[in-house]
Amino acid sequence: MNRLLLTLFAFFIVFVASGQVNPDQTNVQLATQYYNNREFEKAAPLLREVYETSKNRYYYRLYLLSLAELQRYDEAIDDIKREIRRNRDPQADLLVHWGALLKLQKNDSEAAARYQEALKATPSDRASYINTSNMFLQWREYEWAEKLYLQGRKSIPGEKFHSELASVYLYLRNYSQMLDELLELVKVDEKQLSRVQSSLSSAMYLDIENNLKDEFRTILLKRIQSEPDVIAYNRLLIWFFIQERQFAAALRQYIALDRRTGAEEPHILALAQMALNSQNFAQASSAYDYILLKGTENPSWAQAFIYKLHADYQYFTTTIPDDKEYGMLLSGRFEEGLKTLGMTPGSVFLIREYAHLLAFYLEKHEEATKLLQTALEIKGLRLQEMSEIKTELADVFIFAGDPYEAILLYSQVIDLNRNNHIGDEVKLKKARLGYYMGNFSWAAAQLDVLKASTSKLTANDAMELSIFLHNHSSEDSINKALQYFANADLLFFRNKNDEAMASLDSIDELFPYHSLIDDVLFRKAKIHLKMNNPESAVEMLERIVKDFGFDLLADDALYLLAETHNFKLNNKDRAMEAYRKIMFDHPGSIYVPDSRDKYRALQGENPDAGIPAPGEAKEDLF
C-alpha cells in the first residue's frame, strides 16, 4: 500500500510539473498577440498567468513591461518583491527590472542601488553575465551593461567579453572603445575575423555621420605600426580597403602579406575577380601579373595566365571594341596562350573567348569556325565543355549569316542537355534566333515555356522577351516596326552597331508614335555603351526616365543610367542619385538590393585613380 501511495504521489508531482512547463498555448498566443498589439490591459493578466504556469522569465518580463506601459509601477515593483521573497536569493534579472521601474518613477538613486545589487547578485559564469547584461540592454541601461562586463573581467578568470563590450560601446556610440575591443578580440583569436568584420559592417552602416570609417582606419594603422606581428590586423585592413573598393591599396597589402606568409595567392586571385567584376581592369591585371611573375612552376600560374587574358579581353570588349589594332594584339596573345597551354579541356574557356574575338570583333568568322571545330576534337571533353563549344560555334554561324546551321547546333546542344540549365540557356538562344528571323509567334511560344525554367536568369530573360513580344506584336498586321527592331537586335548581336542604329532610326522615322519608342531609346543606349559613347547613352536613358517614367523599362533605364555614371563616367553623385531613385520610386524593382548596396558603398567611397589600358604604365607594386 505504501509503495502504491508513493507511486501515485510521484505521478501527481510529474503531472503538476508538466502542467507548469507546458502552459495553455491558447493563452500564450493570446497574451503575445495582445502585447504586440499594445493592448497592455488585456495582455498583463494573461502574461502573469502564463508565467505562473511556465516559470519562463520571458513572459514575466513582458508582464512587467506591460505594467510599465500602463504606468502601474508600484504594482510591478510589489510583484517583483514577491518574486524575490519566493526565490529567497536575490536574482539579478529581477533586480534589474526593479531598478528600471524605479528609474521610470524618477527615483534614480534607488534605481542605482538596485542595479548595483544586480551586479553583485550575478553568478561568476559567462552565461549569467550575458543574461544580466541582456536585461540591462533591454531597458537601455548601456552604462550598467558596461560596468557589468568590466566587473566580469575581474571575477571570471580568462574571460574578457570583448565582443559583448564592443556591442555595448556601439549602443553608447563610443566608437574608439568599440574598435579597441574588436581589435583585441581579433588579436587574441584570428578565427574571430569574420565575426569582427560583420560587427564593423553593422556599425558602419549605422554610423549616420560617416565618421567611423576614418576613425577605424586611423586606429587600425596605429595598431599595425605598434604590433606588426599581428597578421589579423593586416587582413582587417585589406577587408576595409575592399569594402571601399580601393583595390590598389588592398592589392599592395596582400602582396606585402604574401611575402610574409607565402599563402595569399587564393586571396589575390579572389581580389582580382572582384576588381574585374567592378570593371577595374588595371588592378585585376596587376593582381594576375604578380602571380605570373612567380614563374610557371607556381600552381596558380595557369589560372592567372588565363584570367589575365580574360581581363584584357573584357577591357577590350567593354571599353575600346572599335580599336582594331588593340584587338589584333590581343588576338596574337590568345594564339600564343593556346600554344603555351595547349588545346586541352582546361583551355576551353580561352578558346571560346578567342573565337568570339575573331568573329565578332575582328570579322574573321572563318578562322573562328575552324578554331571551334578543332576544339570539338579535343580528347577528354566533358559534356558541358562540348556544349559550350557548340553553342559558341552556333553564335559564330549567326554572325556569319547562316542561321539554319546555328539552329542545327543549338538543337544538338538542347538534346544533350535536356535536364540541366545549359539546355534551357540554349533553348533561350534558339527562341531569340527565331525572334531575330521574324518568327514572333513561334518564339513567343518557346519563351512562355522557358518562363518556368529552374534557372532564374534564364526564366527572367525569357519572361522579359515574352512580355516584349506580346506587347508589341499585334499593333499592325505584319508587325513591320517589330521586324525593324528584331533586325536591329540581330545586327547588334553581330556587332554591326552602325547598321543596328540605322534600323532603329527607321522606326523613329516611320513609326514615331509606336509603343516601341522607349525600347528603341533603350537599345540605342546599349549600342552607344558598346561603342564606348557613354555620354550619348546617358542622353537616351534620361529621355526614358523623363518621358516613360511609369513604363516597364523605367527601372531598367535608371539602373543602366546609374551603372553608366558609376563605372563609365566616374560620376559618383549622379550614380548615387539614380540608385536612390530606384530605391524610392521603384521599390518593387529587382534592382533595389543591388542599388542599395552600391549606394551605400558610394557614400564613403574613395575610388582608385583612372584605369590605364593593359600594357600602359602602371604603378610599380612589386
Q: Is 331 inside a domain boundary?
A: no
Q: Is 594 inside a domain boundary?
A: yes
CA dist., res. 507 & res. 513, Å (int): 9
- For residue 244, CA distances in Å to 206, 233, 286, 621 come to 16, 17, 18, 20
pLDDT in tens, 138-166: 999 999 999 999 999 999 999 999 999 99
pLDDT in tens, 478-519: 689 999 999 999 999 999 999 999 999 999 999 998 999 999
Question: Using an 8 Å Cβ cutoff, are 308 and 320 in contact?
Answer: no
Selected residue with higher pLDDT from 20 and 562: 562
The grid cell for 127 is: 552565461
The pLDDT > 70 percentage for the chain reads 92
CA dist., res. 447 & res. 461, Å (int): 9
Residue 5 pLDDT exceeds 70: no
Q: Is 505 inside a domain boundary?
A: yes
CA dist., res. 290 & res. 265, Å (int): 9
Average of per-residue pLDDT values in the chain: 90
Q: Is 551 inside a domain boundary?
A: yes
pLDDT at 612: 31
CATH code (residue 573): 1.25.40.10
Q: Is 177 inside a domain boundary?
A: no
Alpha carbons within 13 A on the beta-carbon side of 518: 20
What is the pLDDT confidence band of residue 618, given thresholds at 50, 70 and 90?
A: very low
Burial pattern 393-432, b for ≥16 Cβ within 10 A else e, equals bbbbbbbbeebebbbebbebbbebbeeeebbbbbbbbbbb
Residues making up the chain, counted from first to last: 622
Residue 248 pLDDT exceeds 70: yes
pLDDT in tens, 112-136: 999 999 999 999 999 999 999 999 9
pLDDT at 453: 87
CA dist., res. 250 & res. 286, Å (int): 12
What is the pLDDT confidence band of residue 617, given thresholds at 50, 70 and 90?
A: very low
Residue 14 pLDDT exceeds 80: no
Question: Smallest Cα–Cα separation from 306: which of 368, 254, 349?
Answer: 349
> Looking at the whole model, is its pTM more than 0.85?
no
Neighbours of 381 (CB within 10 A): 17
CA dist., res. 531 & res. 526, Å (int): 9
Q: Is 204 inside a domain boundary?
A: no
Question: Using an 8 Å Cβ cutoff, are 316 and 361 in contact?
Answer: yes
Question: Using an 8 Å Cβ cutoff, are 584 and 255 in contact?
Answer: no
First-residue to last-residue Cα distance in the chain: 92
Q: Is 514 inside a domain boundary?
A: yes
What is the pLDDT confidence band of residue 170, given thresholds at 50, 70 and 90?
A: very high
Question: Smallest Cα–Cα separation from 217: which of 228, 204, 231?
Answer: 204
CA dist., res. 543 & res. 528, Å (int): 14
Q: Is 54 inside a domain boundary?
A: no
Residues 6+ apart with CB under 8 A from 215: 175, 176, 179
CA dist., res. 171 & res. 249, Å (int): 31
Between CA 343 and CA 346, with CA 344 as vertex, the angle to 5 degrees is 125
Question: Smallest Cα–Cα separation from 559: which of 591, 597, 525?
Answer: 591
pLDDT in tens, 270-317: 999 999 998 899 999 999 999 999 999 999 999 999 999 999 999 999
- Which amino acid is present at 456? K
Query: Based on the structure, what is the number of domains in the chain?
Result: 1
Range(s) of the domain holding residue 549 = 499-606
Selected residue with higher pLDDT from 9 and 225: 225
CA dist., res. 417 & res. 535, Å (int): 42
